[in-house]
Amino acid sequence: MKEFLKKLIVGVLLIICIGLNFEKSNIIADEWSEPVKFYNSYGNSAVFKPTNIYEGDIYFCSAGNTSTSGTKYRTIGYKMSVKNSSGNVIQTIYYQMGGSYMTLKCQAKSSGKEYMMYKIPLRYVRNRMNQESLNALSSGSCTIILDACMVLRVNGKNKGGMNDNGPSWGKVYTTYAGISKAANWTDSALSALYSYYGKTVRGLFHTIDVRKSTGISSVSGGGTYCYGTYVTISASSSAGYDFTNWNNDSSMSSSSYGFYVNSGGTYTAHAKAGTIAVTFWRNTSASDSEKTSKSYTYGGINQAFPAVGWQMAGYHMSGWGNNLYDTTAVYPLLCGVANSWIESNRPSKNIYAVWQENEYTIEYDTGVSATVKYSDTVTLPSQHMCIGWILGEEYPDIKYTPGESIQVADLCRILGIEYTDKAVIRMYALWEHEPTIEADDMFFSIKQARNGGITEQLIGSLISATDVEDGDIAFGDNEINYLKVKNFDDRKIESARDKDIIEIVLEAKDSYGNITQKTISITFTDTQVKERTKAFGKIRFISEKYYGKNKAGGLMENSRWLNDPEFNSLLRQALAI
């Protein structure tokens, strides 16, 4: 029974061990834990493996012959050279395999070789750097070069040694030139040795390429950075543009964007043309809420202030201002929008209409004019014979008296020009004109007088009268006016003799009661003397008014008084022409 229990326990333990070995084989199958796999994948390269977003380890693996006879080379550590962007070495740091910083991760033997895997935590590298190296590391302007520290191993014994501060005894070779001449190596050995020098750490440095697109004036932050370095890339927008994001990614919307470098990448800064939202206020009063809005884009074509068409009685919109109480326009009505204005006023702006009181010219038909404002009061002129003022035939029922004070605003509303600046208001005078009599001295024959041919109606047919308000006044006593001979005496006329002159008075009265008189003379001539009749032919009576009018009451074309120089001269002297 005891023997059975022993066998059972051993079996269980065996199963457990097999399971554990199986699990262990799965774990060490990873190349970061199995030196042979790592060496088969990377050779003697230094390879970085991240452990989090800002930390990781640098792995190394060496493969040495297990044979102890003869002369061999053996890697005992590494020299790390930190170079700046100019390629100059600014610091040298040594790492001893198995020292304080470069620790043995694991080892294995296979096919006559011994594989040993070491690692250096990245934090150790940073901790051992001086400030100049750290500055170069964080600014993306440094490189790290690794050179193996090798010694000759003769019959299983090293001929030199080192610590974390560098070579400490014997002969340690830190350059290919040195190790290549240390022994009589084969070509394959020399080729293998060459690969241990001038190496970089795979996966440790990453290039950040920072680019700009339209609307971006400059970018910064690009470079080659060590893994885990916190980098800030920045972009500056060009005038009139706003930064939007990096790589069209809305989650990267800050123009100054920071991140830990875990891989290389290209970051392109994008921008959009800036806009300004402008609110245009009508501003007819402090409480006026009427407005219109418009948006303008930097770089836009043919952008201008809107044509609003606002009106205010008695005022005209002269332009736009920056403030509510501006009285002088800063911008014209249809002001063009320049990029510089958009840039200086973004993102929004209020603009206010500027109103100026209308001016008008009052033109009186008397030849006088006056410039007035909408809010003014004017006093209409008072002139002799002027009985009133009107705005024209279109407004017959609107009359103003001379000397009356009237509001310009009232005139504008009647004429419909309260919204029109520089309009003309025409005022027409109503006159109390005296009538005018048109009549010349007359000549009649004694025969006409004796026969009663010279009548008041005949005199009336030879005269006329006109009036500004009434027009032509007909002869006789009319309903609103008259034209008459005031002192016509037919008996005196019938008894007239040769060369007698009688004065008669003509009188005209208009509808306003204005009276005008004119005195003319009637001259009588005896035309019965035959000698004179024969000498002069047909007798015609003539005055200055009708001289030269031929058949229209004047001399005939063949008249001797017209064609004979002697007679013509006498006639002109008599008529004083």
The residue that leads in pLDDT, 468 or 544, is: 468
Across residues 494-504, what is the average pLDDT? 89
Reported as a pLDDT band with limits 50, 70 and 90, residue 548 is low
- Give the model's pLDDT for residue 534: 42
| HSE-up of residue 520 (Cα within 13 Å, Cβ side) | 20
Encoded tokens for 57 = 């380890």
Spell out where 440-574 has E strands.
442-445, 464-467, 471-473, 476-477, 482-485, 501-509, 515-525
Q: How many CB atoms lie within 10 A of CB 17?
A: 10
- Give the model's pLDDT for residue 483: 93
CA dist 439 → 62, 458, 483, 521 (Å)? 147, 13, 12, 10
Encoded tokens for 137 = 């590391």
Judged against a pLDDT cut of 80, whether residue 3 lies above it is answered with no
Encoded tokens for 49 = 């493996």
- Give the model's pLDDT for residue 7: 41
- Give the model's pLDDT for residue 14: 37
Q: Which of 187-196, 268-277, 395-404, 446-455 has the lowest mean pLDDT?
A: 446-455
| C-alpha to C-alpha distance for 13 and 73, rounded to whole angstroms | 44
DSSP-assigned beta bridge partners for residue 181: none
Q: Indicate the pTM of the whole model.
A: 0.58
Across residues 521-529, what is the average pLDDT? 77
Judged against a pLDDT cut of 50, whether residue 22 lies above it is answered with no
| C-alpha to C-alpha distance for 561 and 280, rounded to whole angstroms | 88
Beta pairing class for 291-297 and 275-281: antiparallel
Tell me whether residue 8 is exposed, middle or buried, using C-beta atoms within 10 angstroms of its C-beta: 0 to 12, 13 to 18, 19 or more: exposed
Share of the chain above pLDDT 70, in %: 89
